Amino acid sequence: MTFKSHQLHKQASDIRTPSRRRFLQVGLGATAGLVMPNAFANLLKQPERKLSLLNLHTGESINSTYWAEGQYQTGELHAINKVLRDFRTGDVHKMDHDLIDLLNIMHHEIGTNKPFHVISGYRSPKTNAALSKNSSGVAKKSLHMQGKAIDIRVPGQRLSDLRKVALNLHAGGVGFYPESDFIHVDTGRVRHWGA
């Protein structure tokens, strides 16, 4: 079972009153889970899941084993949330576990132990509103505000290769920003943008 299909199983168990729309959502999501790459299946076999991050705005870094002994490690997740906080306001928000797992898979797929350089993790509504006023490239309802998106690069790794890895996972949104030297990944619906 992939982390996406686990999420779908949880959604299916939460159905209180069946509806055609809900039935289609669960059915389509389950179908998408069947065609996910082996990377997701292999994730569940790992005895430990690790993530290495460097926040370029605060200088804080973390090399975390956030999954061990068959479960997420609460203290490690809190530490990741702190590193990925809104550096403008200091607001800390719970980051989506699927996003953290997606980063773990990407790390394995690109074959490096260098940390992800983080341009933007969580964004508070206040920060997002200010950024969207000044740039048409910032969504007013950004997934950054839900802890479901991150903007990253990896030193020594071609940005186009990082983008290709993210696209091949079919796990959410992928934005390509070569002029600013980062890619955006999120756990929203599968889509992509940028040259």
Helix, strand, coil shares, percent, the chain, to 5: 45, 20, 35
pLDDT in tens, 87-120: 999 999 999 999 999 999 999 999 888 999 999 9
Q: How far apart are CA 36 and CA 190, in angstroms?
A: 12
Contacts of 78 (CB under 8 A, 6+ apart): none
Give me the domains of the chain, ranges plus CATH numbers. Answer: 1-36 (no CATH), 38-193 (3.30.1380.10)
Question: Tell me, what's the pLDDT at 18?
Answer: 44
Question: Tell me, what's the pLDDT at 132?
Answer: 80
Question: For all residues of the chain together, what is the average pLDDT?
Answer: 83
Q: How far apart are CA 177 and CA 163, in angstroms?
A: 10
Please name which of 108, 114, 124 lies closest in space to residue 152, comparing C-alpha atoms: 114
Lowest mean pLDDT among 57-66, 139-148, 157-166, 184-193: 139-148
Burial of 96 (0-12, 13-18, 19+ CB in 10 A): buried
pLDDT tier at 40 (50, 70, 90 boundaries)? low
**pLDDT at residue 163 tops 70:** yes
28 or 187, which is more confident: 187
